[in-house]
Structure 1
Amino acid sequence: MNDYKKSLWISNLIVLLFAVLVTFAVKLIFNPLLSQQQELIAKELNLQNSPLITNIEQLNELIEHQVFDFIKVSNSDLPAPLVHEDPQLSRFFSSLSPVASTTVISSSGSQLIEFTVHNSQLFTLLTQILFVTYTALIISASLINIVYYRLYKSIETSLVHEISDEQSPGSPFVKVSEQLHQQKKLFHKALQNQEKQIVDLARQVNMDNLTGLNNRHAFRKELTEILSEEEEQKHAILSIIRASELNTINSQRGFQQGDDYIVNIADIITQVTDRFSAVSVFRISGSDFALIAREMNVSEAQRIAKELKSKFDQYQNVNELESIAYNGISSIISGQLPEQVLARTDMALAKAQTEGINSWAFEQHDHDENQFGQQHWRNIIDSIIEKRALMLLHQPIQAIHRNMKGYQEIFTRFLGENNSMIPTETVFAMAQRVDMSVKLEQLILETVVSQCRHKSDGSTRWGINITGSAIQNSNFIVWLERLLLREPNIAGSLIFEMQEEVLDCNLVASKRVFDMLKRTGTRSAICNFGKGIGSFRLFKELKPDFVKIDASLISNIERDSANQQFVRMIIDVAHRMDCRVIAEGIEHLEQKQILENMYIDGVQGFLIARPSPL
């Protein structure tokens, strides 16, 4: 119950109590008059000298005067007092402060009469007085209720105007107005804070945490909005930019360097597109960025692509990388499906990756991905195999202790038209898609064996990476065993490196490969060791000759004591298993010194040497 209703109930209760008090007061005033009236009646009827009343008939003679409300006669001749009470007596008024009965004793003292009388005139006057009083009180209560109602309505209207209208002159209640204005300020401040929190949360949902750009969810939403506009066909540009060196940087330099690389590319893209209106930049996957430019024509999109290539080339020269990013561009036309636009842009990106370092390409026409896209890559990979269009790089692994002999890890780079570099990760991925990964692996190994035959002096060792698809292909393993058996001198100088994650996923096939390498006198190594929970199980099952600790464990080892303890444990377990431990991604002297104190066997990284042509 609110205060308004409480006030009404209290005021009505006060009026009711006042009515009761007035009733009692009036009755108390009238009681002496009624007592006096009774004494006058006794004198008029000469009750003091009346004869003895011995029966009811004599009492009735007295009652016939019709003045008595109540009469009681007692004398010595009556066995019990005679009593008469008027049945029409008003019980309400008689119960409110009743009038005392008058007692008359006969002159002889033998008879006692007690009685009360009614006086219609006095009672009529009493009733009229109470009626007027009650009427006045009811009218007063009604007026009070009306005044309360109008007052509260007036206050309510004034407060509503003051709340909803900043220009309102304010209510006549100064303190209320001041408090209200203060509460309004607090409310507006709280509302602004909540709106800000909502905006921040919405931004976080649609934002990539690393770069601060919009994420894949926001990209998909905006692309769908453009394609669903039906009023008229809208034209826009979609560009997908792939950071081609992310995996290489992560594996060779550590994940922190990979994050810096992604952030720098995001800054370059933002810097180039800032001067164009209605251009949105997104990070849609680990290595992929997207641009959506509304109302942009093809020539403007090509100008952006050329400027991005120039910036990427500059960044590549400064950071001594093999490539930075590739750019695929296509048009967005309303009414199409998102899959059509994305497939067309992906095809443009595939073309860009085969046309030169940091290149871009524009694709306008739709193609069946299975008929055109795969055939495009099949032709490229066929050309690589036919022309043996690949280049080998090597990076030394430096031995720290005498009980380990260092070796050279070999990296493969693929060449396209005009000797342009094609991203290695893309070639391997597409080769697997078109079922040509085994042929590509065979080409690489044949080239490595040929190079080793001419360059090896009998003391040099070479490390070669084998992909997961090759490890799980029985035909390739048979072919590799025969190759190694034909070249026993070269086989003894080869070390095959395989990813821990791949080995752990298919332990049966991995064990078969490791057993084959032992039979042919070839050594084995597990790369990126220490990333998975099954790392130490591989020691027992595969018994490798080397393990290469993942670069993510090395990148901040000088500051991370937990990483130091974990690496020390790996080294201790490996040495107990007669296995040599190599640390990848060494870039700082402090890292090398810490690892030397842990009795690491070998180190590899840019601090030692960068990859160079074989």
Structure 2
Amino acid sequence: MNNLGRNFWVSNFLIILIIIALVFVIKALFNPILSKQQQQYGLDKRLAVLNDITSEADLKHKIEINNFSYIKVTNDRLSAPLTYIEQKEAQLFRKILPISPSTQHSISTNQVIEYSVKNLEYSTLYQHIILLIVAALVITTLFCNLLYLTLFRKNEQLLIEETLDDSDVKSIFTIAAKAIKQKIRNLKSDVSDKEMRINKLSNQANRDSLTELNNRHAFRSELTELLSSDNNQDHAILSVIRIFELSTVNASRGFQQGDHYLLNVAKIIKQVALNYANTQVFRISGSDFAVIAHNMTTTDAHKFSDELKFKFDQYQATHNLESVAFNGMTRVSAKQLPEHVLARADIALAKAQIAGPNAWALEEHSEFQLGEQHWRAVINEVIEKRSFTFLQQPVQAIHRNMKGYQEIYTRFLGENDNIIPASTIFSMAQRIDMIVKLEQLIIERTIANYRQKSDFNTHWGINVSYACIQNSAFLIWLERLLLKESDIAGSLVFEVHEKPLDNHLTASKRFFDMLKRAGSRSAICRFGKGICSFRLFKELKPDYIKIDSSLIVDIEHDSTNQQFIRMIIDVAHRMECQVVAEGIERLEQKHILEHMYIDGIQGFLIARPTPL
């Protein structure tokens, strides 16, 4: 309904309200007159001097009952009040604001008469006045409405003619005609906007209802479109981000907190992604997110992942979680198969898991594009055929009280003796629950090689994953092995990354205590990057700590890192722990660390890894 039609009906409704109000106002003005007339009527009829009325017949005999609409008599001779009510239906006008009954007390007796008089003359006058006013208003309203409708239709016709006429308009409706033309243009614009909204609504099928991100269907479409592009120059970075704590949060804090956790992670990913052009974020499963960054360079991919990890670390510390999410990335280009791309992303994700809380990894090796079944077969073959060799890199002692050792690395061989990246093997072994079996074999082979190739005066360092440290069966097996090989146990140094130690402190302490009982040494490598690094001194009491290479890389120009490393060395020496610096590549780094009384150094400046 347009505004003119609405105004028409509103005005008519107001007329009706005015009529009703007038009826009540006039009746209110008449009521004092009617009440006074009723009281006077009782005096004129001398109701106060009537003898006691004893019956209805006596009432009709003594009083002209037709002039009353209501009579109620009470006296000592009546057992109950005698009441008379006019049987005929009262008039409508009499029901509007009715006046109260009057009362007359007998002069000589206890008789009381309550009564209401019809007052036909005044009632009729009131009725005529009301009917006259109402009739006048109704006739006036009908006339005005008729005139209004006639003028409205005439004006409407003139406006239509003016609107359809493209010539110069000179009539009094020029402004209205122009306004209508503008309305038509606005209407066309509104139609266009509505079409756009409809298109947006059609995209709701590709939206995740909880996070409002694009869903798995949209991700598949985007990835397929990218891979099927005819332009071989099209490329992107695919990032798969997996939340591993979701089931724990749901179980311990409830599904509502789980949803809140998901929303916060989604918000973090979106915030970081906004800093990079042509980047899309998807939620591809209950605990998995994906990011496709078109034309992103490897450098930007590293920067993106570092920013994401920083945000995740903050969220983890704030909400007391063991981790927030891991990030596996791979490069995507046209003409690749989707399953190969996703398999590489899974491999990267597995690498990130083994690197510590909220870690990330980038997988670019296209020759390893098969899934878990392939990797299970590959790792089984590695174990059965013992298809791996060892490399060694020395940890050189600087301080005379430290005894250097050789850190042992594992090199895995595939078909035709092709080298398989060790990080990939360890990551996938952990993913398919074969890491314990694999590391048990590596430790056994390392001890066997030590017995064959060592003069028992050197020490060897063996890396152990935190997945094995948490495995009680592995700890029992390793302790029995070291006790069995007691002549070699004292020459072994077991190295563990710092990050997972702090997150699994109880299991870590059990592992370090076991090594002390067995006579072996322990080392924490990549030390100094965690928030609670110094707490590990007190809790674990390692024999060595190996300062992370990221603290060494620019030490010549970074006075803050120099001060931090100096503090690490001082605290470690107080705890009778020896300090090794990793990643030494320049002579200047070595000289600075020597002046800080470092105990040992390791890196390409000393020696590169060589076959054992």
Q: Which TM class, normalised by the smaller chain length?
A: 0.3 to 0.5
Larger CA Rg, structure 1 vs 2? 1
TM-score normalized by structure 2? Answer: 0.46
Higher RCO structure, 1 or 2 (CA under 8 Å, sep 6+): 1
